[in-house]
Amino acid sequence: MSTDLKSSNQESNTAKAQGLAQCHVCNLLIDIDESIDNYCPRCDSKIHMRIYDSLQRCWALTICSLIAFIPANAYPIMTILYFGKGQPDTILSGIVLLLKFGMYPIAAIVFIASFVVPLAKIIGLFVLLLSLRNKSKLTKQQRTKMYRYIELFGRWSMLDVFVVALLVALVEIGAVVEVVAGPGATAFGIMVILTIFAANSFDPRLLWDEEDNEMALTKEKKNKR
């Protein structure tokens, strides 16, 4: 019996199976005693086997960012005033305006950065979270890759907020043209922050734990037969 356990441990050669955990700050591998709080002896950061409450936090933050996505797109992000008159622009109407003037490449960049990326990030996080509950068609490798891209491209959704800041500073020629930032920018900033926190709270190792557990189980079944 003891030899069986050993072999299944070797099969799933993870730090968790060995009672070890790696410090997320300085990558030191230490023995974990799960009954107490563990601190890294090298950098004094708190160490968990897995990110504490990862799934609950990630669910909460992803739902919040989905909610924040609505005002971010519904409220105007800025208004360009010509001689005191002008129509407030939301992110999408700004893109439509760019298309009208024939600036297709820049419209594509803005559309991808400020609409596709946040939406894809939120949907992607939902897909990852749901895949831990139900059986998923995606393999572990694909889902890990997906998580990596979500982390990598999330920051690009700040693009439109930066553009607004620059335009507000640049175009203040009083009576003729003026650019005024709108409440949509705040909502957008909140949404970006929430999606970054959501992605950070997700622990990709949970995707692989499932496989390790399954492998151990099937091994046990085979051994019983």
Partner 1 sequence: MNQKQFACYECDTLITITSINEGEVASCPRCHHHIVDKKYDSINRTLAISGTGLLLFIPATFFPLMSMQLLSVESSASLMSGISALWQTELYLVATLIFLFCVLAPLVKLSAAFFVTLGYKHKRHQHPFYKQLMLFYHHVDSWEMLEVFLIGILVSIIKLKDMADLSFNLGLLCFSAFMLCVLSLKVTLDKQMIWDDLDYEH
Query: C-alpha dihedral over 28, 30, 33, 38, to 10 degrees?
Result: -30
Q: How far is residue 131's CA from residue 202's CA, in Å, rounded to a whole number?
A: 13
* Cβ–Cβ under 8 Å, residues 201 and 57: yes
171 binds partner 1 (CB under 8 A): yes
Count how many residues are written for the chain. Answer: 225
Find the shortest distance in angstroms from Cβ 52 to partner 1: 16
Q: How far is residue 111's CA from residue 126's CA, in Å, rounded to a whole number?
A: 21
42 binds partner 1 (CB under 8 A): yes
Joined tokens for residue 7 = 């072999």
**Which residues from 82-111 bind partner 1, rule CB under 8 A?**
98, 101, 103, 106, 109-110
Identified binder of partner 1 from the candidate list 147, 194, 198, 201, rule CB under 8 A = 147
Of 169, 125, 166, 171, give the one whose Cα is nearest residue 148. 125
Find the shortest distance in angstroms from Cβ 127 to partner 1: 17
Find the shortest distance in angstroms from Cβ 6 to partner 1: 15
The residues of the shown chain that bind partner 1, judged by CB under 8 A, are: 13-16, 18, 20-22, 24-29, 41-45, 98, 101, 103, 106, 109-110, 113, 140-141, 144, 147-148, 155-156, 158-174, 176-177, 180-181, 183, 185-186, 189-190, 193, 196, 200, 204-205, 207-209
